[in-house]
Each structure stands twice: as C-alpha cells, then as structure tokens.
Amino acid sequence: MRAAKAGAVALTMLCAVAVPGSDVAATNWSGRTGSEGSCSGVNETDNSTLTYHRNSLTANNYSSVAWNINENVIPTALNVQAEHNPEQTDTDIVFVDANYSTTCGADWHPDSSDPGTTSVIGRMSCLDASGNGGSCNKALVRFDTSWSDIASTTRLRHNACHETGHAFGLYHKDAGGSCMGGFSTTAYSTHDQNHISNDL
C-alpha cells in the first residue's frame, strides 16, 4: 500500500470467500492492486479514510459488523467515518446479507444445517475497481443468512472480521491468532494490524 492520502478508502473486482477450515497461506499480505475477476482474489486499500454501510443487515450481522468496526478497525490507523448511504460514491465497504445459493458460482451454506466446515458463509467482492493503481473504490461484503441466523456470536464476529480483512488486502492464514485464520479468533493479529495501519 502507499502513503496515506486524503479521500475515501479505495478498497478490485473480486470475491474473497470465507470457507470454514480453508486457511491456506503462511503469510497473509496480498499487497495487490488491479482487477482479479469478479469472484476471486483479495486487494488492498489505498488510503486512510474508511466509510461503510451496514444498515440493511439482519440483526446478527449488523451487530457483528458493528463489533468488528469498534473493536478491530477503529484501533488501526484508519480514519473510520460515520455510516454512509451505499449509493454514495465515497462509500468504501457495503455490507449486505441474504440467503444466497449460487452467487459467484459458490456453494453457499445450505439452509437448516449446522454451521458447517465446507460451504461458503461470506464473500468480499468489488463494485468499483477504478481506484489509484487499480485498487478497489467500493467493496461489497456478503454474509449468508442461512448460516448467520444460527451461528454463535464468536463465529459471527469472526466472519465479520475475516471478510472485512479481505477488503483491507489480507489473505487467509494457515493458523490461528488472527480472524484471517482459525474460527475461534475474532481479531486481527499484530501482523494484520501493522499492514492495515502502516501500508496505507
């Protein structure tokens, strides 16, 4: 990431997916810019101001996103702004939820089953990949309600932290200690926080 600039966070056209138990990378900083397709990859933010929209979420996901913003994002160097309308061009992350089935060609969590370990429960993708150096101006984070309606508070907070982390440019980790890794963790590691804060 580059030095902090004025303006909204430019978060690339992609879908980064949360699949329980799929932590694969030993190092989890992507540092990438540019479009990677509508349903794959991770990308980085390019400045220090973060605006977001979460008002359309169901209660479980709304609370989890609020918790993540307050506990994990505000303590970083990001300048977190008040809730924005999702249609505003300077809204950086739009959080939405629904009972998805095939969005981005994914195998979303099935209805009426336990919070599983193989199906998709969240995705980050990009709505506007015209940011500086090809970074994403507006990210879309999706949560699957067939899972979030029955998941525990810890798992909900983990998922909010995890998908938001993809919008900041973080990969999956191969171990716990970060919400980008194990499902019992609901915070960014020091490594993650340093990338979010220092690589703006």
Q: Which CATH number fits the domain that encloses residue 116?
A: 3.40.390.10
Considering its fold, how many domains does the chain have in total?
1
By C-alpha distance, which of 68, 55, 57, 43 is closest to 126? Answer: 43
Q: Tell me the chain's radius of gyration from C-alpha atoms.
A: 15
**Among 91-100, 108-117, 130-139, which is the least confidently predicted range?**
108-117
Tell whether 8 is covered by a domain: no
Q: Would the pTM count as exceeding 0.75?
A: yes
Tell whether 35 is covered by a domain: yes
Q: Which residue has the higher pLDDT, 16 or 142?
A: 142
Query: Domain of 88?
Result: 16-194
What is the average pLDDT across 180-197?
A: 85
What is the average pLDDT across 167-178?
A: 78
Q: List, for residues 6-63, the tens digit of each pLDDT value.
A: 333 333 334 555 544 333 333 444 444 444 444 544 555 556 788 899 988 999 999 9
Tell whether 87 is covered by a domain: yes
Instruction: Report the b/e string of 156-167 with b at 16+ CB within 10 A.
Output: bbbbbbbbbbbb
Q: Is-contact 180 68, C-beta < 8 A? A: no
